[in-house]
């Protein structure tokens, strides 16, 4: 049609000119030039369109002069002016339409370029079949996706077959090694394993609720055996409630997740090294903690033997000695167990952890340090403190570092002023744990660097203790901060939410 538009416009223009010039009809024949202008929309640019409109107006004036000469009847002048006005208005509107078409074409070209060439895979899907299924379920008084799952457990798998792929960009095709859109459409359902059906149900719940966006991660097993991690976002345009056009953007984050896992492993290894280094500082205290119960075992064992060697063995005394031996051996065993937990390198093991128990165990481990430094200890642990989800060893490392730092901070303070306060409390959705010392405080100029790696004010320090504490608490969804007033001591506080799930 567009190929013949220039010829049709020229023929019409000539015909209108001849009719307008040679006939004496009492009608504004020149108005038909608007057809020429409208046809020009198919082949002319904006400047050419204006030129054609001006040409039609010129032909109208020329025809008027040729057909009337020096006679200028009022009715003819009126028809001429009407024709000129009609052509001018049509040209103006056609110019605006042409400009809008140009903007729309540029926008569509940009969209197509982005769609095809972007580094993010994009799938254009038609979910009309799913929408129709939803409507049927709603008409049967099903109120939620949970109702559908109870009635038809296999609906998630069948829903995948209702997703129609209408287009895909080059990045998406390359991601899945698909030669074309048709091949990719056949491949997609097979990539979703049974383990992923839980995520499919969550997507269906989002679509059922009418949400315009849903984002999640998925692990897909490719046809060549590789397992890739994808971050995908499902977007429903607000003006497409029929779900006839749904855009799914896909990003391969496998390398990123592998890098994060390696970083996490490196952090765990560094935390292990720091724990071992801290235990090295506590060698004397650890030896004392073990020596006391072991010495008591020897003493009670000797006493028991003496009671047995009497002419009439005092079995009651023997039983008491043996019970004391068992208690002291258990005490030594507990110390070793706690030390082993801190020193052995093992992967994080999330569990429900009672921070009060962690604090009490750590205080027991540091009791000799507290005694020999003549620190006055006050413990204020909240009753019925909610348990938090986390790795017990890592959380004990945090408490151990904070307590040891507090004890060391008061080394040059007069003995009468060495006070250590350990407190736990419950906030709205988190557990708050604080350690306060009466040391010299932290100078303002170094406060902002406290949690930086390798920053230390100790001559023999590594500068990793507080940095590791912050990393551990961040992984647990919490945070740590310090407040200090020079000369009045320092308080370290950390929080951990207690409403997080294990996983």
Burial 450-482 (b: 16+ CB within 10 A, else e): bbeeeebeeeeebebbbbbbbbbbebbbbebeb
CB 31 within 8 A of CB 48: no
Res 462: pLDDT: 46
User: 362: closest CA among 285, 436, 304, 468?
Assistant: 285
Place of tokens 């002023």: 417
Q: Using one digit for the tens of pLDDT, what is the confidence trace for 156-201?
A: 888 888 889 888 888 888 888 888 888 888 888 777 777 778 888 8
Evaluate if residue 378 carries a pLDDT over 90.
yes
Average pLDDT, integer, range 33-48: 86
Our measurement of the distance from residue 198's CA atom to the centroid of its chain's CA atoms, rounded to an integer in Å, reads 19
Q: Using one digit for the tens of pLDDT, what is the confidence trace for 251-266?
A: 888 777 777 676 666 5
Confidence of residue 503 (pLDDT cuts 50, 70, 90): very low
- Give percent of the chain above pLDDT 90: 7
Evaluate if residue 223 carries a pLDDT over 70.
no
What is this structure's pTM?
A: 0.46
Based on its alpha-carbon atoms, the radius of gyration of the chain, rounded to whole angstroms, reads 42
SS3 483: strand
- Helix residue spans in 118-196 (DSSP H): 128-139, 145-151, 155-160, 170-175, 181-191
Residue-by-residue DSSP string for 407-465: HHHTTTS-GGG-EEEEEEEE-SSEEEEEEEE-SS---HHHHTTTTSTT--SSTT--S-H
Confidence of residue 436 (pLDDT cuts 50, 70, 90): very high
Q: Using one digit for the tens of pLDDT, what is the confidence trace for 110-165?
A: 666 665 556 678 888 899 998 999 999 888 888 888 888 888 888 888 888 888 98
| Alpha-carbon span 202 to 219, nearest angstrom | 15
Q: What is the dihedral of CA 310, 316, 318, 322, to 10 degrees?
A: 180
């Amino acid at each position: 049609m567009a190929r013949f538009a220039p010829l049709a416009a020229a023929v019409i223009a000539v015909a209108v000119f001849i009719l307008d010039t040679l006939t004496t009809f009492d009608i504004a024949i020149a108005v038909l030039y608007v057809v020429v202008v409208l046809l020009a929309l198919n082949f002319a640019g904006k400047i050419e369109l204006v030129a054609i409109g001006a040409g039609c107006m010129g032909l109208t004036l020329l025809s008027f002069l040729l057909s009337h000469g020096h006679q200028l009847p009022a009715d003819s002048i009126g028809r001429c002016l009407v024709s000129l006005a009609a052509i001018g208005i049509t040209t103006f509107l056609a110019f605006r339409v042409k400009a809008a078409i140009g903007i729309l074409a540029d926008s569509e070209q940009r969209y197509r370029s982005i769609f095809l060439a972007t580094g993010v895979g994009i799938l254009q899907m038609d979910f009309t079949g799913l929408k129709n299924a939803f409507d049927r379920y709603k008409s049967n008084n099903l109120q939620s996706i949970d109702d559908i799952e109870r009635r038809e457990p296999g609906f998630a798998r069948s829903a995948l077959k209702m997703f129609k792929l209408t287009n895909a960009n080059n990045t998406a095709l390359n991601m899945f090694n698909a030669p074309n859109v048709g091949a990719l459409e056949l491949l997609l359902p097979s990539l979703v394993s049974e383990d992923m059906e839980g995520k499919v149900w969550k997507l269906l719940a989002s679509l059922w609720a009418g949400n315009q966006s849903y984002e999640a991660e998925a692990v897909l097993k490719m046809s060549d055996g590789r397992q890739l991690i994808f971050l995908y976002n499902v977007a429903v345009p607000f003006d497409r409630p029929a779900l006839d056009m749904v855009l799914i953007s896909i990003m391969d984050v496998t390398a990123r997740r592998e890098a994060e896992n390696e970083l996490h492993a490196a952090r765990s290894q560094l935390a292990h090294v720091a724990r071992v280094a801290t235990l090295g500082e506590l060698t004397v205290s650890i030896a004392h903690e073990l020596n006391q119960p072991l010495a008591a075992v020897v003493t009670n064992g000797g006493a028991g033997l003496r009671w047995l060697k009497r002419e009439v063995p005092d079995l009651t005394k023997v039983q008491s000695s043996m019970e004391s031996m068992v208690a002291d051996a258990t005490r030594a065993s507990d110390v070793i167990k706690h030390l082993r937990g801190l020193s052995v390198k093992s992967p994080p093991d999330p569990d429900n952890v009672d921070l009060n128990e962690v604090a009490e165990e750590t205080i027991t481990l540091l009791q000799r340090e507290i005694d020999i430094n003549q620190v006055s200890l006050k413990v204020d642990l909240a009753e019925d403190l909610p348990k938090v989800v986390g790795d017990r060893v890592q959380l004990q490392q945090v408490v151990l570092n904070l307590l040891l730092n507090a004890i060391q901070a008061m080394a040059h303070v007069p003995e009468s002023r060495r006070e250590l306060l350990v407190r736990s409390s419950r906030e709205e959705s988190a557990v708050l744990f604080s350690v306060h010392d009466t040391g010299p405080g932290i100078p303002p100029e170094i406060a902002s660097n406290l949690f930086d790696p390798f920053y230390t004010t100790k001559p023999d320090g590594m500068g990793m203790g507080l940095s590791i504490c912050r990393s551990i608490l961040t992984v647990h969804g919490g945070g740590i901060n310090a407040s200090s007033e020079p000369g009045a001591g320092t308080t370290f506080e950390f929080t951990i939410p207690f409403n997080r799930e294990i996983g």
